[in-house]
Structure 1
Amino acid sequence: MSAKPKNGNKGKKTPENAPGSVWFRAEKASRTRPQLSHERIIATAVELLDRDGVHKLSMRRLAERLGAHATSLYWHVATKDDVLDLALDAVFAELDLPEEHGASWLADVEAFMTGLRSVLLRHPWAAALASSRPLMGPHALRCSEFAYTALATGGFEGVHLSSAAATITHYVIGSASSEAVWRERTDEAATRSAVDAHLRARIGAYPTLAGHFPLLDKDDWDAHFHRGKRLLLAGLTSPEARG
Structure 2
Amino acid sequence: MRQARDEMSVTPGSRPGTEPGDDSGSPCVWLRADRPQRADRPLSRSRIVAEAMALLDEEGIERLTMRRLAERLGTGSTTLYWHVATKDDVLDLTLDALLGEVPLPAPGGDWRSDLRTLLLAWRATLLRHPWSACLLGRPMLGPNTLARVEFLQAALVRAGLTGRHLTAATWALCGQVTGAATTHAAFRLTAGEHRAVHTHLWTHRDTYPALAAHGRLPDEHDEDDFAAGLDYLLDGIEAATTR
Q: Tell me the TM-score normalized by structure 2.
A: 0.86
Q: Specify the alignment match of 2:22 in structure 1.
A: none
Q: Specify the alignment match of 2:157 in structure 1.
A: 152
Q: Which whole-Å deviations, capped at 9, do the CAs of 1:186-228 have from their partners, x for residues lacking one? A: x2x211211111111111111111101215543x122121121
Q: Which whole-Å deviations, capped at 9, do the CAs of 1:52-111 have from their partners, x for residues lacking one? A: 22222110010011111111111110100000010001011101112x411011111111
Q: Specify the alignment match of 1:119 in structure 2.
A: 125
The percentage of counterpart residues that share the same residue type is 41
Q: CA RMSD in A?
A: 2.4
Q: Which whole-Å deviations, capped at 9, do the CAs of 1:148-180 have from their partners, x for residues lacking one? A: 100111111112111111111111111112213
Judge conservation of contact 1:156–1:242 (CA < 8 Å) in 2.
Answer: no
Q: How do 1:78-93 and structure 2 match up within 5 A?
A: 78-93=85-100
User: Aligned partner of 1:226: which letter?
Assistant: A
- How has the CA–CA distance of structure 1 residues 168 and 20 changed in structure 2, closer, same or farther, with 3 Å as cutoff? farther
Q: Using the TM superposition, give the Cα deviation of residue 31 of structure 1 relative to its aligned residue in structure 2, in angstroms.
A: 5.4
Q: Using the TM superposition, give the Cα deviation of residue 15 of structure 1 relative to its aligned residue in structure 2, in angstroms.
A: 7.3
Task: Determine which of 70, 81, 96 is the counterpart of 1:74.
Answer: 81
Q: Specify the alignment match of 1:143 in structure 2.
A: 148
Q: Specify the alignment match of 2:115 in structure 1.
A: 109
Task: Determine which of 26, 41, 46 is the counterpart of 1:34.
Answer: 41
- How has the CA–CA distance of structure 1 residues 27 and 85 changed in structure 2, closer, same or farther, with 3 Å as cutoff? same
Q: Using the TM superposition, give the Cα deviation of residue 32 of structure 1 relative to its aligned residue in structure 2, in angstroms.
A: 5.6
1: distance between equivalents of 2:207 and 2:55? 44
- How has the CA–CA distance of structure 1 residues 141 and 122 changed in structure 2, closer, same or farther, with 3 Å as cutoff? same
- Look up the SS of the partner of 2:61 in the other structure: coil
Q: Specify the alignment match of 1:190 in structure 2.
A: 192
Q: Using the TM superposition, give the Cα deviation of residue 182 of structure 1 relative to its aligned residue in structure 2, in angstroms.
A: 2.8
Unaligned runs of 5+ in 1: 1-5
Q: Specify the alignment match of 1:3 in structure 2.
A: none
Judge conservation of contact 1:89–1:140 (CA < 8 Å) in 2.
Answer: yes
- How has the CA–CA distance of structure 1 residues 226 and 155 changed in structure 2, closer, same or farther, with 3 Å as cutoff? same
2: distance between equivalents of 1:201 and 1:66? 53
Q: Tell me the TM-score normalized by structure 1.
A: 0.86
Unaligned runs of 5+ in 2: 16-24
Q: Using the TM superposition, give the Cα deviation of residue 13 of structure 1 relative to its aligned residue in structure 2, in angstroms.
A: 4.7
Judge conservation of contact 1:120–1:176 (CA < 8 Å) in 2.
Answer: yes
Q: Which runs of 4+ in 1 moved over 6 A?
A: 15-20
